[in-house]
Structure 1
Amino acid sequence: MNNTLAKSISSRLLTLAVLLLLVMLAGFSIFSRSLFEPQILPELEKKAEKVGTYVLAQIDRAVEWGIPVDKLSGTDELFDDILADNKDIGFITITDLNGKRLHLRGTLSTTFDAGLAQITRDAVQAKAMTQGRLGTVFITKSLPIETDTGGIVGVLHVGARADFVSNQLEEVYYDLAIILLVAALFTFEILLYFVNASILRPIRDIHEMATRLADGYFGRPIAPKTRDELGRIGLRIDEAVASVRRRYEELAQAVTGWGADARAKVTGTLDKFEFAFPPKPAELHSSGQQGTALIRIAVFVFSLAEELTRTFLSVYIKQLFDPVPGLAMEVVIGAPIALFMLLWALAQPFAGVYSEKFGRRKVFLVGALLAALGLVASGLALTLVHLLIARSITAIGYAMVFISAQGFVIDNTTRETRAQGMAGYAGGILTAGVCGPAIGGILADQLGFRITFILSAGLAIAAAAMVYRAIQERPIMTQAERFSLKNLGLFIANPRFMGVVLFSAIPTKLALTALVFFLVPLYLNEQGISQSMIGRVLLLYWLAMIFVSPVASSLSDKFGNRKFFVVVGGVLAAVAGVVAVLNTSIWSMVIGLTVLGIAHGLVMTPQLALVTTLSHGQQTQKLSETTVLAMFRLMERIGNVIAPFVAGLLLARFGYAGAITGIGYILAGCAAICLLLFVAFREPSAPAHEGRA
Structure 2
Amino acid sequence: MKVLADQQEGFKRPIGRVNSVRYHGRLINKLALTLVFVLTFAVVLCSFLNYFKFQENYRQLILDRLNIVIAEAVYNIEYGLGLGLRLGELDQMNQTLTRVSQRDDQVSAILVINSVGELLHLEGDASNAQAALTTWLLDWQGSSANQLAEQEQSFVFSQALHNSFGQAEGFLLLIYEKDDFNRVLQQVQKRLFQAALLVILLATLIGLVVVYLLLRPTLRSLHRMFDSLLQLEAGQPSALRANNAQGVIEADLVELEQVCLGDAIPHAVDTQGKNQGNRGALAILATTIVLIIVATIASAWYQLEIFKAELLPQEAKKALVIAEQVSGKIDYLLTNGVPFERIQGLAVTYVPIQDSHPDVEFIGVMQGDGSLIHSRGQGEEAFTAINQLSRRFNLYQTPIQRDDRVIAGVVVGIDPAVMANSLREIILDIAAILVVASLLATELILFVISYTLTTPLLTLRSVIERGVKGEFNVGMRVLFRDEVGRLGEKLNHLLDGARRKVIATGERLPDPTYLTSVSVNFVRPPLFLLVFSESMSLSFFPSFVESMYEPIGNLSKSMIIGLPISVFMAIWALSLPFAGQWSDAVGRRRAFMVGSVITALGLFCTGLATDLWFLLGARCFTAVGYGLVFITAQGFVTDNTQAHNRTKGMATFLSGFFSGSLCGAAIGGILSDRIGFSMTFFLSAILSLASALFVVQFFAKNDDSEEKLPGSKLAWSDFKTLWVNPYFLIITFFSAIPAKATLTGFLYYSAPMFMKDQLDVSQSSAGRVLMAYGLAIVIISPLSAWLVDYFKRKRTFIALGGLLSGGALCSLYLLPNEQGMLLSVLLLGIAHAIGISPQIALLTELIEGKVDVSMGKIIGIFRMTERIGNIAGPLVAAVLITVVGYTDAFLWFSGFLMMNVFIMLLLLAVASRFERNSLNKAAARVEVLP
Structure 1 equivalent of residue 194 of structure 2: none
Conserved 8 A contact 1:503-1:671: yes
* Whole-angstrom CA distance in 2 between matches of 1:59 and 1:375: 60
* Whole-angstrom CA distance in 1 between matches of 2:870 and 2:539: 17
Structure 1 equivalent of residue 809 of structure 2: 577
Q: Closer, same or farther in 2 for the Cα pair 1:79/1:591, shift >3 Å?
A: same
Conserved 8 A contact 1:133-1:140: no
Q: Is the counterpart of residue 539 in structure 1 residue 771 in structure 2? A: yes
Q: Secondary structure at the match of 1:221?
A: strand
Q: Which runs of 5+ in 2 are unaligned?
A: 2-272, 338-342, 403-407, 916-930
Q: Aligned partner of 2:694: which letter?
A: M
Which deviates the most, 407-416 or 20-29?
A: 20-29
* Whole-angstrom CA distance in 1 between matches of 2:584 and 2:722: 22
> Deviations 1:500-536 (Å, cap 9, x if unpaired)?
1111111111111122111111112231211111111
Which deviates the most, 27-36 or 176-185?
A: 27-36
Q: 1:19 aligns with which of 290, 296, 321?
A: 290
* Whole-angstrom CA distance in 1 between matches of 2:800 and 2:432: 30
* Whole-angstrom CA distance in 2 between matches of 1:3 and 1:380: 57
Q: Is the counterpart of residue 509 in structure 1 residue 750 in structure 2? A: no
Using the TM superposition, give the Cα deviation of residue 49 of structure 1 relative to its aligned residue in structure 2, in angstroms: 2.7
* Whole-angstrom CA distance in 1 between matches of 2:719 and 2:475: 46
Using the TM superposition, give the Cα deviation of residue 588 of structure 1 relative to its aligned residue in structure 2, in angstroms: 1.5
Structure 2 equivalent of residue 670 of structure 1: 900
Using the TM superposition, give the Cα deviation of residue 199 of structure 1 relative to its aligned residue in structure 2, in angstroms: 1.8
> Deviations 1:423-479 (Å, cap 9, x if unpaired)?
222111111122111111111111111100000000111111111232215233324
Structure 2 equivalent of residue 423 of structure 1: 651
Structure 1 equivalent of residue 69 of structure 2: none
Structure 2 equivalent of residue 641 of structure 1: 871
Q: Aligned partner of 1:343: which letter?
A: I
Q: Secondary structure at the match of 2:641?
A: coil
Structure 2 equivalent of residue 247 of structure 1: 501
Q: Is the counterpart of residue 494 in structure 1 residue 748 in structure 2? A: no
Q: 1:114 aligns with which of 368, 381, 384?
A: 384
Conserved 8 A contact 2:366-2:410: no
* Whole-angstrom CA distance in 1 between matches of 2:697 and 2:781: 32
> Deviations 1:539-578 (Å, cap 9, x if unpaired)?
1111111110011112222333322221111111111111
Q: Aligned partner of 1:672: which letter?
A: F
Calculate the aligned-residue CA RMSD, in Å: 3.7
Structure 1 equivalent of residue 885 of structure 2: 655
Conserved 8 A contact 1:218-1:277: no
Q: Aligned partner of 1:461: which letter?
A: L
> Deviations 1:64-100 (Å, cap 9, x if unpaired)?
999x9859999867764x33xxx6x345768999977
* Whole-angstrom CA distance in 2 between matches of 1:586 and 1:574: 18
Structure 1 equivalent of residue 827 of structure 2: 595
Conserved 8 A contact 1:574-1:665: yes
* Whole-angstrom CA distance in 2 between matches of 1:227 and 1:579: 58
Q: Secondary structure at the match of 2:414?
A: strand
Q: Secondary structure at the match of 2:476?
A: coil
Q: Closer, same or farther in 2 for the Cα pair 1:64/1:586, shift >3 Å?
A: farther
Structure 2 equivalent of residue 553 of structure 1: 785
Aligned length in residues: 631
Using the TM superposition, give the Cα deviation of residue 648 of structure 1 relative to its aligned residue in structure 2, in angstroms: 0.7
Percent of aligned pairs sharing the same letter: 30
Q: Closer, same or farther in 2 for the Cα pair 1:33/1:470, shift >3 Å?
A: closer
Q: Aligned partner of 2:772: which letter?
A: L
Using the TM superposition, give the Cα deviation of residue 112 of structure 1 relative to its aligned residue in structure 2, in angstroms: 3.5
* Whole-angstrom CA distance in 1 between matches of 2:603 and 2:335: 59
Q: Is the counterpart of residue 192 in structure 1 residue 446 in structure 2? A: yes
Q: Which runs of 5+ in 1 are unaligned?
A: 120-131, 147-153, 253-269, 685-693
Which deviates the most, 533-542 or 656-665?
A: 656-665
Conserved 8 A contact 1:95-1:156: yes
Which deviates the most, 156-165 or 520-529?
A: 156-165
Structure 2 equivalent of residue 690 of structure 1: none
Which deviates the most, 346-355 or 160-169?
A: 160-169
* Whole-angstrom CA distance in 1 between matches of 2:381 and 2:409: 19
Structure 2 equivalent of residue 298 of structure 1: 526
Q: Aligned partner of 2:570: which letter?
A: L
Q: Aligned partner of 1:109: which letter?
A: G
TM-score of the superposed pair, with normalisation by structure 2: 0.62
Conserved 8 A contact 1:14-1:184: no
Q: 2:590 aligns with which of 362, 377, 388?
A: 362
Using the TM superposition, give the Cα deviation of residue 113 of structure 1 relative to its aligned residue in structure 2, in angstroms: 3.7
Q: Closer, same or farther in 2 for the Cα pair 1:468/1:61, shift >3 Å?
A: farther
> Deviations 1:207-250 (Å, cap 9, x if unpaired)?
32245446654433113334455444433432232122212222
Using the TM superposition, give the Cα deviation of residue 134 of structure 1 relative to its aligned residue in structure 2, in angstroms: 5.9
Using the TM superposition, give the Cα deviation of residue 605 of structure 1 relative to its aligned residue in structure 2, in angstroms: 2.4
Q: Secondary structure at the match of 2:474?
A: coil
* Whole-angstrom CA distance in 2 between matches of 1:181 and 1:609: 31
Structure 1 equivalent of residue 12 of structure 2: none
* Whole-angstrom CA distance in 2 between matches of 1:614 and 1:442: 45
Instruction: Give the 5 Å matches for 1:38-437.
Output: 38-50=309-321, 80=355, 82-83=356-357, 89-91=359-361, 108-115=378-385, 133=389, 135-137=391-393, 139=395, 159-213=413-467, 217-252=471-506, 270=507, 274=508, 277=510, 288-289=518-519, 292-437=520-665
Q: Aligned partner of 2:859: which letter?
A: L
Conserved 8 A contact 2:474-2:514: no
* Whole-angstrom CA distance in 2 between matches of 1:78 and 1:491: 69
Q: Secondary structure at the match of 2:714?
A: coil
Using the TM superposition, give the Cα deviation of residue 169 of structure 1 relative to its aligned residue in structure 2, in angstroms: 2.6
Structure 2 equivalent of residue 127 of structure 1: none
TM-score of the superposed pair, with normalisation by structure 1: 0.82
* Whole-angstrom CA distance in 1 between matches of 2:453 and 2:505: 38
Q: 1:632 aligns with which of 839, 862, 886?
A: 862
Conserved 8 A contact 1:90-1:138: no
* Whole-angstrom CA distance in 2 between matches of 1:92 and 1:435: 42
Which deviates the most, 38-47 or 573-582?
A: 38-47
* Whole-angstrom CA distance in 2 between matches of 1:437 and 1:298: 17
Q: Aligned partner of 1:403: which letter?
A: I
* Whole-angstrom CA distance in 1 between matches of 2:389 and 2:303: 24
Q: Closer, same or farther in 2 for the Cα pair 1:225/1:469, shift >3 Å?
A: closer
Q: Closer, same or farther in 2 for the Cα pair 1:228/1:465, shift >3 Å?
A: closer
Structure 2 equivalent of residue 612 of structure 1: 844
* Whole-angstrom CA distance in 1 between matches of 2:384 and 2:352: 27
Conserved 8 A contact 1:343-1:396: yes
* Whole-angstrom CA distance in 2 between matches of 1:414 and 1:380: 44
Structure 1 equivalent of residue 687 of structure 2: 459
Conserved 8 A contact 1:552-1:602: yes
Q: Aligned partner of 1:42: which letter?
A: P
Q: Secondary structure at the match of 1:190?
A: helix
